[in-house]
Amino acid sequence: MELLKVNNLCKTYGESEVKVNALKNVSFSLEKGEFAAIVGESGSGKSTLLNCIGALDTPTSGIILMDGQNLFSMKEEERTIFRRRNIGFIFQSFQLVSELNVEQNIMFPLLLDYRKPDPKEVDEILNLLGLTERRYHLPSQLSGGQQQRVAIGRALITKPKLILADEPTGNLDSKNSQDVMDMLIKASRQYQQTILLITHNKDLTVSVDRVFQVSDGVLTDLGGNGNETLS
Amino acid sequence: MKHYLDLVPISAKVHRKQNRMSIFCIILAVFLITTIFGMADMFIRSQIIQAKIENGDFHITVQGITDEEAGLIKKRPDVKAAARYGVLNFNDDKGYTILDKKSIIVGADEEFVTQLQMGVINEGNFPQNDNEAMITKNARENLGLQIGDTVTIKRPGEPELSYQISGFCNNTSKIMSEDAYGVFVTTSAFREIDDIGDSTVLADHNMVLFVQFTKTYNIQNTINRLKEDCNLSEEQISENTKLLGLLGQSSNSFMMQVYISAFVLFVLVLTASIMMITSSLNSNVAQRTEFFGLMRCVGATPKQIMKFVRKEALNWCKFAIPIGIITGVLIIWILCALLRVLSPEFFSAMPIFGISIPSIAAGSAIGILTVLLASCSPAKKAAKVSPLAAVSGNAINLQPVRTAANTKFFKVDTALGIHHAKSSRKNFFLTITSFSLSVILFLSFSVAVTFMNHVLTPLRPWTADISVISPDNTCSIDRGLLENLQENPAVNHAYGRMFAYDVPLMVNDIDKMTDVISYEQKQFDWAEEYLLSGSVQAALDEENTGLIVYEPQSAVNVGDIVKIDIQGRTTEVKIVGMLSDCPFNNAADVETIICSENTFQNITGQSDYTIIDMQLNRNATDNEVNTIRQMVGTDVTFSDERMGNESTRGIYYCMWLFIYGFLAVIAFITVFNIINNISLSVTARVKQYGAFRAIGLSMKQLTKMIIAEALTYTISGAVTGTILGLIFHKLLFGMIISYRWGDPWAIPWTELGIIVLIMLFSIIFAVYRPVKRFQKMSIVENISAQ
């Protein structure tokens, strides 16, 4: 079942002489529960693509359908609520709320939805992420790996259909990087979530279902296993 | 780039947005100081002009001395001018008249007119010999006199005095109000009028010595030296309290209280400005720390960073201080121009484009010093930050978070907003202190309004410019005159009153006395404001009814029927209303009954007026007034109150303008301070808000979050400000109101309500702009915003 469909997506920055075509007619689709990775050089347009898919940025042209719905035909408020409920974000720099503890950070999207978090679900995620002991710690009291795990927990709590992860291991060592990947795969399998991951690290694409490469704004579908294809 | 400090202008260009708000804060603070100090300076200058015009340009008077001692005082190097002065028939006690009009005779040395009073001579000269006199110009107009003519003063039971007119002097409000003439003669001529002989003691001739000192500072020392050198006692010297008070030289205990109050207000204004700049610079400390940390990372020493910061701050000052000062000076010019328009007679001497050096100096000095002091803090903080943390790219994380936000009592957006406000203790303290200072300043300055209401009585709606009064207070002014006056184009309103004084009255079998006064429609309308009970309309419409004016010991109540007895004719009058006050004085234990003209005629049988009051058109000329004077004739007293009214109006406008000007400036600063602080705080968190939006925070929730933060600052500031403001209000009230007039202190609810409402209202503006800005930004722009 198709969850995400991107059709002829273009994104242009600037005008005339300083015009930059960050994305050129990008088209692809993802199935429900699929784990895909996007690789590419720095400045190739990976993050721009992810930002457009997550409606954090507005594309210049093209269509993005998420579960059959066009995010950009929605009003700002409606789009925000849709994103909050259906898309989970994981950033390279974690972007945790420094004023909230681990538990509150994980519950944050639910709290924004004015929903009462189910303590069992919160415990389950804390347990899954190995953060039960640290549930009342502030982000500043955690290591980088722990902070990224909190960010993953936050992306999982609403059980979103799509998780967008922008270099989630970029600030982590290899051990923590692998832990994060394992967790994402586990989530993808356990909750049937579609995951789109951006990474520099080709080693991390070993365990994903599909790999895309972005180069100068052009997306190429590399098929089943990135490493195999790339090699 | 030749020097690392050359980075300052480059960095300023890059961080233009962040810097813009800090610069704005400096502009506001310098503007506040320049405007308030400048307004105070201009207010004092205008009051000095007024005091010199009204009371004279002298510092002290000395009495009980001889001519020889007066001569010695005059020759002292610390005395600029001194002149002997005496007055006869001031209160009509000697019955001197010129053509049946009361005449006041002033004897003085020439310096009194030329140096110790302002603008006395209108035409001609001060008398140069004992046969000459200078007379007020109303005599020139009324009697058709010219320089060189002879004027004769009649004295009951004594020979007449004749003088040749050497010149004309300007009228005074007393002269015009009493329809009198004033005559200036030389000191020796003055001494010949009474029969004291050739005594050299000033007091024998009812004279004192007016003294103006050379220097207008340390006047108390000069007075003490004069006392010592001339063996003068405390009682022999009287200060010109108003002028010395305005010059800051009075020893009067009330003026001392006023000085202390002014000092308290001065300190408050200074503190407000310092806090405003400090809180502004601290609000953007996170962004600055990141930048300075980066500099540390590339090898800058803490000392170099301090230098960098200072240079940066001074660069801001280069732009902000002149703008703050220019804005302040412009406001002062507008106020001065307004004063000249409102009361040209008094403030024509005030320069429209006056420059207040003290205010400019204070504005510049406070601006530079505060900015330098305040800018040290971020630099010190930057020096402490580890280079790694500084370049991690997330400045927000540099702010230490001690506790988690409380999401139990509030929704998460509100909880985070509150937590943002309180996250940095120092910033929270500085912001609420700067907010609370607005309340403190507003409440403290509002004491000045009470002060103004005590020292000044504004003109009432019924205040007349000219009154035509029966000389013997009887109903002897023809009714027809009122109709003629009403038709005169120079007259705006004219209305008459009939008076019957000390009329026997019986109420509830008690004998009393009453004054009966008639009103017409207009006066009844004005009386409406003072109605305590009953009906004014009934007194106007129904015959044989009246209003009683409240007296604590009054025997008359609304509903009573009083019997008024005049020349054996008894009239029953029903009291249909009670007024709290009226514009007339009555003798002790004498009632005042106000009734319609018909009722008055029924009671007294009289139909002519005792007084006709006139309110002139604003542009009525002296010639038109003279025409009216000729129309009413010489058998009545023609009381010209215009000068007195103009003076009252001038003082009232001046004080009103400056005091409400102060309050308006404080309110204005409050609004901008709140807007700027919230804007700074929001700008410091712009990346964080971007992340929140990415996670799913809607614009509505973001707005709520910012409102919660703004409300936390404002409510905390308002509460702190209210507590401290009330303490200051009570202190200042006690010093300048209770001390002088004995009024008990009460919580100023209205002023408090106004300033708190202004603060809450400011939040709307404070939140509107950043929210609008975020709405225009995509989330990606929001996250990566500088």
Q: What is the DSSP string of B678-726?
A: HHHHHHHTHHHHHHHHHHT--HHHHHHHHHHHHHHHHHHHHHHHHHHHH
- Residue B404 is nearest to which of A83, A91, A104, comparing CB atoms? A104
d(CA B496, CA B481): 10
- Provide the 3-class DSSP secondary structure of residue B495: strand
d(CA B96, CA B433): 66
Mutate which of B391, B396, B412, B693 to test chain A, going by most A C-beta atoms within 10 A? B412
pLDDT surpasses 50 at A231: no
Q: Please compute, for residue B632, the number of CA atoms within 13 A of its CA located in the half-sphere on the CB side.
A: 31
Q: Which residue of chain B comes nearest to A93, CA vs CA? A: B394
Q: What is the pLDDT of residues A61-118, one digit of tens each?
A: 999 999 889 988 888 888 888 888 899 888 888 888 887 889 988 988 888 888 888 9
Q: Are B84 and B207 in contact (CB under 8 A)?
A: yes
pTM over 0.80? The answer is no
Contact B692/A97, CB-based, under 8 Å? yes
- Which residues, numbered 751 to 780 in chain B, qualify as contacts with chain A under a Cβ-Cβ cut-off of 8 Å? 775, 778-780
| Mean pLDDT, residues A136-145 taken together | 87
End-to-end CA distance of chain A: 30
Residue B388 is predicted with a pLDDT of 53
Residue B1 is predicted with a pLDDT of 61
Q: Which residue of chain A comes nearest to B774, CA vs CA? A: A76
Pick from B8, B30, B9, B26: nearest CA to B309: B8
d(CA B367, CA B29): 7
Residue B156 is predicted with a pLDDT of 86
Contacts of B36 (CB under 8 A, 6+ apart): B269, B359, B662, B665
Taking chain B (786 residues) in runs of 10, the rounded mean pLDDT of each run is: 74 74 83 82 79 87 91 91 91 85 91 87 90 91 88 88 92 83 91 78 87 89 90 89 82 72 80 77 63 69 76 85 91 82 70 81 86 72 58 48 74 88 83 89 88 75 87 87 89 92 87 91 88 90 91 84 86 91 80 92 90 89 86 85 80 80 85 84 83 87 93 94 94 86 88 92 89 84 70
> Chains A, B: CB contacts under 8 A, how many?
93
DSSP B4: G
State the average pLDDT for chain A. Answer: 85
Instruction: Give bridge partners of residue B86 from the DSSP assignment.
Output: B107, B207
Q: Which residue of chain B comes nearest to A54, CA vs CA? A: B694
Which chain A residues have any C-beta within 8 angstroms of a chain B C-beta? 51, 54-58, 76-77, 80-81, 83-85, 89, 91, 93, 95, 97-101, 104, 108-109, 111-114, 136, 138-140, 154
Type and span of the H or E element at A80: helix A76-86
d(CA A216, CA B286): 36
- Backbone CA torsion sign across B331, B333, B336, B337: negative
Contact A97/B413, CB-based, under 8 Å? no
Contact B697/A80, CB-based, under 8 Å? yes
B400 touches chain A (CB under 8 A): yes
B413 touches chain A (CB under 8 A): yes
Pick from A142, A164, A140: nearest CA to A152: A164
Q: From the CA of B388, how many Å to the nearest CA of chain A?
A: 14
- Residue A89 is nearest to which of B396, B423, B694, comparing CB atoms? B694
Residue B294 is predicted with a pLDDT of 67
- Residue A154 is nearest to which of B695, B778, B783, comparing CB atoms? B695
Q: Which residues of B touch A140 (CB under 8 A)?
A: 397, 400-401
